[in-house]
Amino acid sequence: MVFYFFMIRPQAKKAKDAKKFQENLQKGDKVVTIAGIHGSINKINDDGTISLEVNPGSYLKMEKSSISIEWSQQLNKQVAVADKK
Protein backbone atom coordinates (compact mmCIF):
# COMPACT_ATOMS: atom_id res chain seq x y z
CA MET A 1 0.00 0.00 0.00
CA VAL A 2 2.77 2.44 0.88
CA PHE A 3 4.57 1.46 -2.31
CA TYR A 4 1.51 2.58 -4.32
CA PHE A 5 1.44 6.09 -2.82
CA PHE A 6 5.18 6.69 -3.20
CA MET A 7 5.89 5.04 -6.55
CA ILE A 8 2.93 4.16 -8.74
CA ARG A 9 0.55 7.04 -8.06
CA PRO A 10 3.08 9.85 -8.76
CA GLN A 11 4.17 8.15 -12.01
CA ALA A 12 0.54 7.76 -13.13
CA LYS A 13 -0.13 11.44 -12.36
CA LYS A 14 2.98 12.50 -14.25
CA ALA A 15 1.96 10.43 -17.29
CA LYS A 16 -1.56 11.90 -17.19
CA ASP A 17 -0.18 15.46 -17.03
CA ALA A 18 2.20 14.78 -19.95
CA LYS A 19 -0.63 13.39 -22.09
CA LYS A 20 -2.82 16.41 -21.32
CA PHE A 21 0.08 18.75 -22.18
CA GLN A 22 0.67 16.98 -25.50
CA GLU A 23 -3.03 17.09 -26.40
CA ASN A 24 -3.16 20.85 -25.78
CA LEU A 25 -0.20 21.75 -28.01
CA GLN A 26 -0.94 24.51 -30.50
CA LYS A 27 0.69 26.11 -33.50
CA GLY A 28 3.36 28.58 -32.38
CA ASP A 29 4.14 26.88 -29.05
CA LYS A 30 7.84 26.75 -28.24
CA VAL A 31 8.81 23.23 -27.19
CA VAL A 32 11.76 20.97 -26.46
CA THR A 33 11.80 17.30 -27.46
CA ILE A 34 13.04 14.49 -25.24
CA ALA A 35 16.13 14.45 -27.50
CA GLY A 36 16.80 18.11 -26.64
CA ILE A 37 15.72 19.64 -29.96
CA HIS A 38 14.31 23.16 -29.53
CA GLY A 39 11.73 24.55 -31.92
CA SER A 40 8.26 25.92 -32.40
CA ILE A 41 5.24 24.03 -33.63
CA ASN A 42 4.40 24.91 -37.21
CA LYS A 43 1.58 22.42 -37.83
CA ILE A 44 -0.29 19.72 -35.95
CA ASN A 45 -1.08 16.75 -38.17
CA ASP A 46 -4.06 14.41 -37.90
CA ASP A 47 -1.83 11.33 -37.52
CA GLY A 48 -0.49 12.32 -34.08
CA THR A 49 2.59 14.07 -35.41
CA ILE A 50 3.69 17.69 -35.49
CA SER A 51 5.78 19.75 -37.85
CA LEU A 52 8.49 21.36 -35.73
CA GLU A 53 10.32 24.41 -37.08
CA VAL A 54 13.88 24.23 -35.77
CA ASN A 55 15.33 27.04 -37.92
CA PRO A 56 13.53 29.43 -40.25
CA GLY A 57 12.41 27.21 -43.14
CA SER A 58 13.71 23.95 -41.58
CA TYR A 59 11.04 21.52 -40.38
CA LEU A 60 11.08 18.13 -38.68
CA LYS A 61 8.14 15.76 -38.48
CA MET A 62 7.96 14.51 -34.89
CA GLU A 63 5.60 12.42 -32.78
CA LYS A 64 3.65 14.45 -30.22
CA SER A 65 4.82 11.98 -27.58
CA SER A 66 8.42 13.10 -28.17
CA ILE A 67 7.73 16.52 -26.63
CA SER A 68 9.15 16.87 -23.11
CA ILE A 69 6.68 18.52 -20.74
CA GLU A 70 9.36 19.40 -18.16
CA TRP A 71 11.84 20.95 -20.58
CA SER A 72 9.14 22.76 -22.57
CA GLN A 73 7.65 24.30 -19.43
CA GLN A 74 11.10 25.33 -18.23
CA LEU A 75 11.83 26.95 -21.63
CA ASN A 76 8.55 28.86 -21.57
CA LYS A 77 9.21 30.10 -18.01
CA GLN A 78 12.59 31.45 -19.14
CA VAL A 79 10.96 33.18 -22.13
CA ALA A 80 8.27 34.72 -19.90
CA VAL A 81 10.88 36.06 -17.47
CA ALA A 82 12.94 37.52 -20.35
CA ASP A 83 9.82 39.18 -21.80
CA LYS A 84 9.08 40.91 -18.45
CA LYS A 85 12.50 42.61 -18.44
pLDDT digits (tens, 9 = 90+) for 26-49: 999 999 999 999 999 999 999 989
Mean pLDDT across the chain: 85
Report H helices in the chain.
2-3, 9-23, 69-84
User: Looking at residue 85, what DSSP letter applies?
Assistant: -
Class of domain 25-84: mainly beta
Spatial contact of 67 and 33, defined as CB atoms under 8 Å apart = yes
- Say if residue 76's pLDDT is above 80: no
Mean pLDDT for 62-81 is: 81
Mean pLDDT for 10-23 is: 84
pTM of the model: 0.71
- Residues with Cβ < 8 Å from 45, sequence gap 6 or more? 51, 61
Spatial contact of 72 and 31, defined as CB atoms under 8 Å apart = yes
The residues spanned by each domain of the chain are 25-84
Start-to-end CA distance of the chain, whole Å, equals 48
The residue among 77 and 48 whose pLDDT is bigger is: 48
